[in-house]
Amino acid sequence: MHLTQGLHRAVQTRGRETATIFGDRRRTWSELRDRVARLAAALVARGLKPGDRVGVISLNSDRFVEAYFATWWAGGVIMPSNTRWAVPEHNYALADSGTTILLLDRNFAKLLPELAAANEFRAVILLDDGEAPPGTESVDAIIASSQPMPDTCGNGNELAGLFYTGGTTGRSKGVMLSHDSLISNFLCASGMLPYSSEPIFLHSPPMFHLADAAAVIGVTMRAGQHVVIPFFSPENVVKAIERHRCTDAVFVPTMFAMLRDYLAAHPADLTSMRHIRYGASPISETLLRDAMAMFPNAEFAQAYGQTELSPAATALEWRFHKERNGKSYLRSAGRAIFGIDVRIVDEEMRECPTGTVGEIAVRSPGNMLGYWNQPELTERTIVDGWVRTGDAGYMDEEGFVYLVDRVKDMIVSGGENVYSAEVENALASHPAVAECAVIGVPDDKWGERVHAIVRLKADARASETELIDHCKRAIAGYKCPRSVELRAEPLPLSGAGKILKTDLRAPYWVGHSRRVN
């Protein structure tokens, strides 16, 4: 299987229908294929050989979709950079991956002198409108001056993408994903994380992240429409849904929280939405119920996974978003998707009994090939075909997985393990709380102390004592925050929309050493 297969099928079945919408620009599937085949030819003319890496530093756009498919059409490997990175982080990934051709949009063109000083590019292409700055070529100009090349259509087990991950913990690693991994994960997921028949899909999370890149692949395989906005903002999202009557989208939980705040002041018609998938970080029940109310016609499905898995491993289907036999499943990340083995294991990779917390391990056709240039880390991560996710969780007797935390993020307070997701869930159910994060901070008596950082909703009020008392009504006393910090500004987010606990934790740990699991 090859990732351009979906593009060919889309032309065969819906060639004259809209493929991409960006601002006022629409392109059909036939037009998209033509541009992809020309851009691929241009990449090859600039020295791209099969397996060479093509870097992209860009906000979302229809041209980002073209960059994915043109790279694959030409036989290359895409390396989409995190747009939040500082220059040294960009240079690390560019050098580590050995990127030889770089595509970047106008927002990042100003970084070019520093990037070009540290790397040798065969070509730098402006993935944007208008005149190309010095040292770059305009993508539209090179598409116009190239003839379409035939699809290289290589073997499915070849490398398709290097996705650098690890923004919230540790050093960034290049996750190697093949064509087969990415396609099979779409196929495995499609029974439990359904799209509409012909989705009008809103891309608002960053396309460099696999949560959205998976939809670049999936919506193409379904010959749907890609509605692309440059970046997530509540206003961008609401306007795009209303204008294009979008039917499908993927969101991360913090986006629901921001949409909730925005919609309170700006009511909107979001009834066109039919399928919403969400994931990438834990969600509180309160926020999930609010999100379902915001999109009254949408079926929600939660995906749990990670880049190393291409990315989905489990899914909480829509039918489990309602109570069944008096049981709520909303705290669960769902069950293994079809074709994928999920287990809870101890440190020796032995399966844990039902209900016991351990590390989540996954064996899937979507498993990564490994970490680029890191054979030892790869060997520690993929054991007998199982990817160790680094996430802690347990499984109930129906195979539902409950995430408790990143193994590394678990708080050990007075010898008791405290999983911050559980505490955050309790805090988030307080009506005044807009967002929160729970971390471990050094404590002479307890080793680590459970500490909460909370932003209240506009005009809402709640005292530290009131918030702690609220938690005590929901969870055991030893799990409750012993201190609460109220903040006015939003909590810091990674490029993928996850709260950056590393940043929140850092000031408390200056001068202390923290155990690492």
The contact set with a second copy (CB under 8 A) reads: 1, 5-6, 8-9, 12-15, 156, 183-184, 186-188, 190-191, 194-195, 197, 221-222, 317, 319, 335-336, 338-339, 341-342, 365, 395, 397-399
> Which is nearer to a second copy, 29 or 208 (by Cβ)?
29
Least distance from C-beta 188 to a second copy, angstroms? Answer: 6
Cα(178)–Cα(214) distance, integer angstroms: 13
Hey, how many other C-beta atoms are within 10 angstroms of the C-beta on 282?
A: 24
Locate all alpha helices (DSSP H) within 46-79, ordered by sequence: 62-73
Spatial neighbors of 129 by CB under 8 A, at least 6 apart, are 106, 140
Least distance from C-beta 153 to a second copy, angstroms? Answer: 9
| Gyration radius of the chain over CA positions | 23
Least distance from C-beta 198 to a second copy, angstroms? Answer: 9
> Which is nearer to a second copy, 36 or 439 (by Cβ)?
36
Structure-block tokens of residue 112: 């070019």
Question: Is there a contact between 100 and 67 (Cβ–Cβ < 8 Å)?
Answer: no
Spatial neighbors of 179 by CB under 8 A, at least 6 apart, are 1, 2, 3, 72, 154, 155, 156, 157, 158, 160
> Which is nearer to a second copy, 194 or 311 (by Cβ)?
194
> Which is nearer to a second copy, 112 or 315 (by Cβ)?
315
Q: In DSSP terms, which residues pair with 343 in a beta bridge?
A: 361
HSE, side-chain direction, 13 A CA sphere, residue 296: 4
Structure-block tokens of residue 339: 């074709």
Least distance from C-beta 352 to a second copy, angstroms? Answer: 13
Cα(109)–Cα(20) distance, integer angstroms: 24
**Alpha carbon 458 to chain centroid distance?**
28
> Which is nearer to a second copy, 269 or 397 (by Cβ)?
397
Least distance from C-beta 294 to a second copy, angstroms? Answer: 25
Decide: helix, strand or coil at residue 282.
Answer: coil
Least distance from C-beta 328 to a second copy, angstroms? Answer: 18
Least distance from C-beta 347 to a second copy, angstroms? Answer: 22
Cα(282)–Cα(424) distance, integer angstroms: 9
> Which is nearer to a second copy, 237 or 276 (by Cβ)?
276
Least distance from C-beta 514 to a second copy, angstroms? Answer: 35
> Which is nearer to a second copy, 6 or 279 (by Cβ)?
6
> Which is nearer to a second copy, 171 or 324 (by Cβ)?
324
Spatial neighbors of 192 by CB under 8 A, at least 6 apart, are 301, 315, 317, 334, 335, 337, 338
Q: CA geometry: angle at 489 spanning 484 and 490, to 5°?
A: 90
Cα(207)–Cα(449) distance, integer angstroms: 37
Least distance from C-beta 16 to a second copy, angstroms? Answer: 8
> Which is nearer to a second copy, 7 or 292 (by Cβ)?
7
Cα(73)–Cα(37) distance, integer angstroms: 7
Entry field: residues in the chain = 517
Question: Is there a contact between 256 and 278 (Cβ–Cβ < 8 Å)?
Answer: yes
Strand positions, DSSP E, 407-432? 411-413, 416-418
Least distance from C-beta 220 to a second copy, angstroms? Answer: 10
> Which is nearer to a second copy, 334 or 481 (by Cβ)?
334
